[in-house]
Amino acid sequence: MNNTSPTSLLDEALQRHLAGMDPDAALALRETLCAVARACVRISDVASLGVLADAHGLAGASHVHGEEQKRLDLIADDLMAASLEGCRHVAAWASEEHEQPHVSHAHGAQGSHLVVFDPLDGSSNIEANISIGTIFSVLPHRYRGMAPGAADFMQPGHQQIAAGYVLYGPATLMVLTCRRGVLVFGLDRRGDAPQWVLTYDNVRIAEHTREFAINASNQRFWEKPIQRYVAECVAGDSGPRMKDFNMRWVASMVAEVHRIMTRGGVFLYPRDTREPRKPGRLRLMVEAAPMALLVEQAGGRATNGTSELLDLVPDTLHQRVPVILGSKDEIDRIVSYHADPSENVSWQLFKTRSLFVQPQA
């Protein structure tokens, strides 16, 4: 790779980081991750230009989840696909934007990786110029010699070789794990060509926190353990937690997880009864599993309330699951509430506190 490639410093850092790994496997992983990183530089370019690059507004189509696609969703999806098609180690990829995986024309049988991604997470924030991101996951292509199909992607999160996200915020950052801790790269645009520069090499999530993130407008649909947890946080120093909490909600999972990486906290998109056929809002393969691997590699914990997210085996590419992740002590507490949803300790005790007041019967 030459110095004008935006991934030359990234590749050098990965070479050091992956020392001791099987050389062929390490080279393949570096090349796959650099292909993802190159696409994300282009996505960052377009995202930062926004309306100037004609990247705002609806695309006029819906994806497999029935949600309207934004122009930037599709631009980001195309950029990822073009970059992955050019990588000899990527056998196939699956995107949040498409019902079925795409098999690489040139490398479908021989590539050693399957890549799963959400090209543009937080689409509702695009026009508001609020942070958005790309989430990605690298899985092994287990049956080399055969072009993979959708069934080959149905691997639990603990099989991921690598996972990460790119956050397009005031700075563009890539947060990455190859199962050896969590690295952060900043996109440095001060030279002739942009470069991914390593800025942190061992991110750890604070074990204790006083901050939580949840879409409170769904409160009436939450199950009791979540009602209890949030009510206790809102009760603050006058409740059983005996300390005040702060609440945040960006509606871009990348931004929420990055805040947790930097100062701890809890992110919850729990099971709810809003749409009984959908037990959760977030997608297992493109959101929950990659974020779970990152959080666990940084010392945090990720669960659906009763099972570790990394243990869930997908039924379908676009399966949705409840997601609760972040600082370990808090997640342990929430899991214990799910295991023992006590009838005596009721969130209703705190119903006089404003945000979560329950309607009177």
Give the footprint of ligand AFP on this chain (CB under 6 A). 67, 121-124, 215, 251-253, 269, 281-282, 287
| Helix, strand, coil in percent for the chain, rounding step 5 | 35, 25, 40
Residue 345 CB, shortest distance to ligand AFP, in Å, is 27
Contacts of 336 (CB under 8 A, 6+ apart): none
Would you list the DSSP string of 267-317?
EEE--BSSSTT-S-SEEIIIIIHHHHHHHHHTT-EEESSSSBGGGPPPSST
- The nearer residue to ligand AFP, 31 or 287, going by C-beta atoms, is 287
- The nearer residue to ligand AFP, 24 or 67, going by C-beta atoms, is 67
Residue 271 CB, shortest distance to ligand AFP, in Å, is 14
Residue 66 CB, shortest distance to ligand AFP, in Å, is 11
- The nearer residue to ligand AFP, 30 or 320, going by C-beta atoms, is 320
Residue 295 CB, shortest distance to ligand AFP, in Å, is 14
- The nearer residue to ligand AFP, 67 or 275, going by C-beta atoms, is 67
Residue 19 CB, shortest distance to ligand AFP, in Å, is 34
In sequence order, the β-bridge partners of residue 163 are 137, 177
Closest residue by beta carbon to ligand AFP: 253
Burial 128-162 (b: 16+ CB within 10 A, else e): eeebbbbbbbbbbbeeeeebbeeebbebbbbbbbb
115: which 2 tokens? Answer: 């890549």
- The nearer residue to ligand AFP, 222 or 269, going by C-beta atoms, is 269
